[in-house]
């Protein structure tokens, strides 16, 4: 019942490897805003906005019109560890994790600080 209060839903379910950008689902005006936000990440070379967000955790809201974003990163090592005994913090690259955190921090902060919600 409070879905109109949601500005964006975001999911990061592809690991914490070197990010390249965000998948985004939303209208053209919202996409333009997200593209502009992503330019802030030029110093860490994470600026791409891909055609659609993915994620079972956010699909429900996106189907009802809430803009959505999902982190895109290098999946080449994802299944080396995913859901295995080796899936621990000790196998993570702290620098790559920091880059992933930076993406979400910048995007979350800027969207939360906007005077208007992302267009629907």
SS3 for the chain is CCHHHCCCEEECCCCCCCEEEEEEECCHHHHHHHHHHHHHHHHHCCCEEECCCCCCCCHHHHHCCCCEEEEEECCCCHHHHCCCCCCCHHHCCHHHHHHHHHHHHHHHHHHHHCCCCCCC
Whole-structure pTM value? 0.89
Mean pLDDT of 86-105: 88
pLDDT at position 77: 76
User: What would the CATH number be for the domain defined by 3-113?
Assistant: 3.40.630.10
Where does the pLDDT of residue 44 fall: very low under 50, low under 70, confident under 90, or very high at 90 and above? very high
Taking the domains of the chain in order of start, what are their residue ranges? 3-113
Mean pLDDT of 76-87: 75
Where does the pLDDT of residue 91 fall: very low under 50, low under 70, confident under 90, or very high at 90 and above? confident
Mean pLDDT of 4-16: 88
pLDDT at position 83: 75
Where does the pLDDT of residue 93 fall: very low under 50, low under 70, confident under 90, or very high at 90 and above? confident
Percentage above 70 pLDDT, the chain = 100
């Amino acid at each position: 019942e409070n879905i109109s209060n949601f500005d964006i839903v975001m999911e990061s379910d592809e690991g914490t490897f070197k990010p390249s950008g965000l998948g985004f689902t939303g209208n053209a005006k919202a996409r333009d805003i997200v593209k502009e936000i992503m330019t802030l990440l030029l110093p860490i070379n994470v600026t791409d906005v891909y055609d659609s967000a993915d994620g079972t955790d956010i699909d429900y809201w996106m189907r009802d019109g809430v803009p959505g974003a999902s982190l895109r990163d290098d999946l080449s090592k994802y299944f080396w560890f995913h859901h295995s005994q080796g899936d621990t913090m000790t196998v993570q690259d702290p620098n790559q994790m920091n880059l992933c955190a930076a993406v979400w921090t910048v995007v979350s902060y800027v969207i939360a600080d906007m005077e208007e919600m992302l267009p629907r």
